[in-house]
Amino acid sequence: MAALYACTKCHQRFPFEALSQGQQLCKECRIAHPVVKCTYCRTEYQQESKTNTICKKCAQNVQLYGTPKPCQYCNIIAAFIGNKCQRCTNSEKKYGPPYSCEQCKQQCAFDRKDDRKKVDGKLLCWLCTLSYKRVLQKTKEHRKHLSSSSRTSHQEKEQYSRLSGGSHYNSQKTLSTSSIQNEIPKKKSKFESVTTNGDSFSPDLALDSPGTDHFVIIAQLKEEVATLKKMLHQKDQMILEKEKKITELKADFQYQESQMRAKMNQMEKTHKEVTEQLQAKNRELLKQAAALSKSKKSEKTGAITSP
């Protein structure tokens, strides 16, 4: 009896062949929890739900430091502290200032001084390295699949040739010919079905190294275009949020300005009323002073004329 192994998510037991190689997940868990890229740091993680688009580490950093900014080196939206993401900060401390990436031409590739750690002798940044390795792995799997299918076809042909002797020569020959003819369209359809984002390539191109290089470059460029589109969408969202915040600040500023003007108008009106009251009181006092001085003068003149 074959040994059974537990899935790391649902903990149900399956044969070893039914589990994924890396994380030991069954087919249902792989569909329910696919491996996706984090919206911020672009690392791959196991998605717990459809609404969860960032990894656990970035979720903790968002709670601690708020929404991140684009890194000044790699432009990945993962700069929670300062203007650089943690990956570029650590690489800069370890390997020195960054160099221009030979693929995306951004100043975000760090030279590790070791040619063995380069990808085909190229100095690439972290994102381009992942994309290049992923495309190479896909190409390797495609070539392996093509070689295995051609090997199976060759074995079938040998089996047909061994069975084509004796009294059943003609019937076996007819069977072999029809089987080979049926196999040719199958292989052709397999070659035609091997596409990358809608671009097909021929079997000669897949088995030939220059064609494979072209396929790798095309697939890598398409992945970079998709990445740039995602970054553009994220930046558009950031611009919309900033424009919304600017609109709210403008509305708040206009409200405060109107309140300040109303307060100033009220103060000016009150000051004018107080000034008018003081002026009226001053005029009244001046009249009283004039009347008093006039009465004193009349008393003096009367006292002089009385003897």
| Structural domain includes residue 91 | no
The pLDDT of 45-58, averaged and rounded, is 81
Least confident of 189-198, 216-225, 250-259: 189-198
| Structural domain includes residue 126 | no
| Structural domain includes residue 150 | no
The Cα 218–Cα 203 span in angstroms is: 16
Q: What is the pLDDT of residue 119?
A: 73
| Structural domain includes residue 14 | yes
Q: What is the pLDDT of residue 306?
A: 56
Note the pLDDT tens digit of each residue in 52-72. 788 888 989 999 988 899 999
pLDDT at 193 > cutoff 70: no
| Structural domain includes residue 27 | yes
Domain span at residue 17? 1-33
Note the pLDDT tens digit of each residue in 71-97. 999 988 889 988 899 999 999 998 899
Locate the DSSP E strands across 135-233: 195-196, 199-200
At residue 229's C-alpha, the angle toward residues 224 and 231, to 5°, is 95
Q: What is the pLDDT of residue 203?
A: 38
Number of domains forming the structure of the chain: 1
| Average model confidence (pLDDT) across the chain | 75
**% of the chain with per-residue pLDDT over 70:** 69
Confidence band of 275 (pLDDT split at 50, 70, 90): very high
Nearest alpha carbon to residue 156 among 190, 183, 127, 121: 183
pLDDT at 120 > cutoff 50: yes
Give the predicted TM-score (pTM) of the model. Answer: 0.41
| Structural domain includes residue 26 | yes
| Structural domain includes residue 22 | yes
Chain Cα centroid distance, residue 210:
33
Nearest alpha carbon to residue 101 among 73, 80, 77, 82: 73
| Structural domain includes residue 48 | no
Query: Residues 75, 106: contact at Cβ < 8 Å?
Result: yes
Between 65 and 214, where is the model more confident? Answer: 65
Note the pLDDT tens digit of each residue in 27-44. 777 766 777 888 888 888
pLDDT at 131 > cutoff 80: yes
